[in-house]
């Protein structure tokens, strides 16, 4: 995925920044603890398609 695209995209809930998770290609919003899938290079920014993230500290 184009790094410039990642810089433009924001979380649809909080409008915060997203980080690419290299292990599986998800775009992650740390504030809302959601991971948005990327399928065939296209980010799916629908809240209904997002998966909850887990962190070691939670």
Q: Is the pLDDT of residue 58 over 50?
A: no
Q: How far is CA 31 from the centre of its chain?
A: 11
Q: What is the pLDDT of residues 11-34, one digit of tens each?
A: 999 999 999 988 888 999 999 999
Q: What is the CATH number of domain 3-52?
A: 2.20.25.10
DSSP codes of every residue in the chain: --HHHHHH-B-TTT--B-EEETTTTEEEETTTTEEE-EETTEE---GGG-EE---TT-
pLDDT, one tens digit per residue, over 34-54 is 999 999 989 999 999 999 998
- The single residue listed with the structure tokens 């790094």 is 3
Domain boundaries, the chain: 3-52
């Amino acid at each position: 995925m184009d790094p410039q695209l990642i810089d433009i995209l924001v979380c649809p809930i909080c409008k915060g920044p997203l980080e690419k998770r290299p292990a599986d290609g998800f775009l992650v919003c740390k504030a809302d603890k959601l991971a948005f899938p990327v399928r065939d290079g296209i980010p799916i920014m629908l809240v209904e398609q997002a998966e909850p993230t887990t962190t070691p500290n939670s």
